[in-house]
Amino acid sequence: MTSTTKFESYFHVLRDVIRTMHSITNLQEVLDVVVTKTTGALDAKGALLRILNRETNQFEVRAACGLGEKYLAKGPVNTETVLSTLSEQDKVYIITDIWNAPRVEYPQATWDEGVRMMVDMPLGIDETMGLIRIYFTKQREFSGDEVDFIKTVAMHCACVIVRVQLMESQQSKFSHLAAQMDKLSSLGRMAAGIAHEINNPLAGILLYSSNLSKKVPPGGLLEEGLKIIVKETQRCKTIIQGLLEFARDRKPQRALVNVNDIMESALGIVENEFHLRHVRVKKQLDKVVEKVYLDENQIEQVFINILLNALQAVEDKGIVTVQTVVDQEHKKINIEISDNGCGIAPDHLKRIFEPFFSTKANGTGLGLAVSYGIVENHHGDIHLFSEPGKGTRFIIEFPFQVHNSIGKGVHEIS
Amino acid sequence: MKSLKVLVIDDESVICDACNLVLTEKGHTVDYCMNGKTGLIAIERGTYDVILLDMKLPDIDGMEVLKSVGEKMPGPYMIVMTGYSTTSNAVQAMKLGAADYLSKPFTDDELIEAVEKACAQQ
């Protein structure tokens, strides 16, 4: 091949790779183009593209061309073999000694395939995420132009992989969120139905028991028993009110408010309980806090829920820290409530926002579920970090710019 | 305390019976209806001082009953009872003429207090 036609063919390959990249709906198409076109342009026997599966920590074959079934059946390659000699991402490895090169995991199979030389090009932007291996049937010089060409292909290919992986992870995050919202809303509807049905029989129990308790001899066992029935029925009423509160369609009534003011007001409400337990509150409120469109009452409820959870998690004389930080770069305000308490066990952590999930003897399991729903309705995010024995940290984020004109408070996920 | 004529409209017999027991012990007279239509007929025919009205009835909605009473036969002191209390439906009931609101479950004292407020109003 003359050098002009060679460059032409490189150009065509790059053009094809870039074209597929821009029209991608699936990653496979790009990977297939990369292996077939590179094989052609380098006049090679074939090529193989492996991508690192972070769950199994193995390089799995994602695209191949020009290689026999028997060779491909060898399966994924362990990361150790590849990464141990892959210290420099930008480096092209030329393997001529098939039998002794440490990078060759299956020398016999490679030899039987008729391969006498291989070129490895790592794929990656900040870290290695894959590898393109090109196979040749005879040993030959690999020119500087060829190295440049394969590097350019690898760079484009790595960009596509990163983009697709990011897209996939966002997609899975959103479908998880959608499933969570769906679960919350169906549980909510169910709760409302049950609450309604239960309040009627409870009304009968409460009317008769409260009435009877006045007719029995005072101070006796009967009076005591009836008073317990009255008290416990009233407790059921409180639990059901909590359920109904949870199930209610909570459309935020937003206004431009200062998050620090809401935090101060929430702290004022729980102050007494903190004082009784000798739990100290450390305040680190950002002085230049931006005003945000929020429903003051709902957000105060969220803060109170989390503060009371923190109070229950710490021993007497524990410390609860509240912090507000303006994140100008991401146009967000972060509110952090952390404690140095008992922490949350990892298997509880997964279920912590589920309605009716509670680790407390008297908990309804609705506080955090309600809080989660409220923050979602404000287009905010709620994150939780916890380590048993060390403490728990809640971070709530609200964007600056969301106001009344954006939706009516209901998060739509399609 | 003046004896009051009370009508309970609720499809749950246990509630009708319990209200009957509690209120008759206090010297009031109690009738009851198990649905909205018979309730409306009873209100039209009788001369009740107080109506205890459940919001969820098998035939017509409690709000509809309130509306009809307000339009056709204003007079009785209406107390709404509901197992699904929200501020907004309490406000709506008040706008339609309800004088008070009892959220289920309630104690005998709460019932007596709500009913006897009618005397103070009259």
3-class SS of residue B31: strand
Structure confidence at residue A133 (pLDDT): 92
What span, in angstroms and rounded, lies between the C-alpha atoms of A280 and A271? 10
- Compare B10 and A92 and report the one with higher pLDDT: B10
| A413 pLDDT higher than 60 | no
* Banded model confidence at residue B52, pLDDT cuts 50, 70, 90: very high
Of A196, A211, A233, the CB nearest to B105: A233
Could you tell me the CATH number of the domain that includes residue B85? 3.40.50.2300
> How confident is the model over A392-405, as pLDDT tens digits?
999 999 998 654 44
A·B CB contacts under 8 A = 71
* Banded model confidence at residue A250, pLDDT cuts 50, 70, 90: low
Cβ count within 10 A of residue A160: 21
* Banded model confidence at residue A184, pLDDT cuts 50, 70, 90: low
Q: Name the most confidently modeled range: A105-109, A111-115, A406-410.
A: A111-115
CA distance B17 to chain A (A): 9
Structure confidence at residue A115 (pLDDT): 92
Using an 8 Å CB-CB cutoff, list chain B residues near A207.
15, 18-19, 21-22, 105-108, 111
Q: Say whether residue B86 is in contact with chain A using an 8 A CB cutoff.
A: yes
Which of A212-216, A286-290, B29-33 is least confident? Answer: A286-290
- The mean pLDDT value for A102-121 works out to 88
Structure confidence at residue A228 (pLDDT): 94
Which of A49-58, A352-361, B83-92 is least confident? Answer: B83-92
Structure confidence at residue A3 (pLDDT): 66
| A179 pLDDT higher than 70 | yes
- Compare A402 and A190 and report the one with higher pLDDT: A190
DSSP secondary structure string for all residues of A95-125: E--TTT-TT-S-HHHHHHTT--EEEEEEEES
Structure confidence at residue A7 (pLDDT): 82
Mutate to test the interface with A, among B30, B53, B108, B110 (most CBs of A within 10 A): B108
- ipTM of the complex model: 0.91
User: A398 pairs with which residues across the strands?
Assistant: A333
| A87 pLDDT higher than 60 | no
Single pTM value for the model: 0.52
CA-nearest residue of chain A to B10?
A200
Which of these, A101, A97, A50, A47, lies nearest to A77 by C-alpha position?
A: A50
Domains, chain A, ranges and CATH?
3-171 (3.30.450.40), 251-414 (3.30.565.10)
Question: If you count them, how many residues does chain A have?
Answer: 414
| B12 pLDDT higher than 80 | yes
Cβ–Cβ gap A199/B56 under 8 Å: no
- Compare A164 and A356 and report the one with higher pLDDT: A164
* Banded model confidence at residue A84, pLDDT cuts 50, 70, 90: low
- Compare A266 and A182 and report the one with higher pLDDT: A266
Structure confidence at residue A83 (pLDDT): 57
Average pLDDT, chain B: 89
Of A211, A230, A237, the CB nearest to B22: A211
| A406 pLDDT higher than 50 | no
Cβ–Cβ gap A244/B12 under 8 Å: no
Cβ–Cβ gap B105/A197 under 8 Å: no
Helix (H) or strand (E) holding A393: strand A391-399
| A166 pLDDT higher than 50 | yes
Tell me how many domains chain B contains. Answer: 1
3-state DSSP helix/strand/coil percent for chain A, to nearest 5? 50, 20, 30
Mutate to test the interface with A, among B12, B89, B104 (most CBs of A within 10 A): B104
- Tell me how far the alpha carbon of residue A110 is from its chain's centroid: 41
The amino acid at A112: D
Average pLDDT, chain A: 83
Of A200, A214, A230, the CB nearest to B12: A200
Q: Structural domain of residue B12, as residue ranges?
A: 5-121
| B111 pLDDT higher than 90 | yes
What span, in angstroms and rounded, lies between the C-alpha atoms of A319 and B92? 45
> What are the residues of chain A with a beta carbon less than 8 Å away from any beta carbon of chain B?
192, 195-208, 210-211, 214, 230, 233-234, 236-237, 244, 248
Of A192, A203, A237, the CB nearest to B15: A203
CA distance A405 to chain B (A): 24
- The mean pLDDT value for B16-38 works out to 95
Cβ–Cβ gap B85/A244 under 8 Å: yes
- The mean pLDDT value for A146-160 works out to 87
Q: Say whether residue B15 is in contact with chain A using an 8 A CB cutoff.
A: yes
Q: Say whether residue B98 is in contact with chain A using an 8 A CB cutoff.
A: no
Which of A49-58, A82-91, A138-147 is least confident? Answer: A82-91
Q: Name the most confidently modeled range: A175-179, A184-188, A199-203, B20-24.
A: B20-24
| A362 pLDDT higher than 70 | no
Cβ–Cβ gap A205/B108 under 8 Å: no
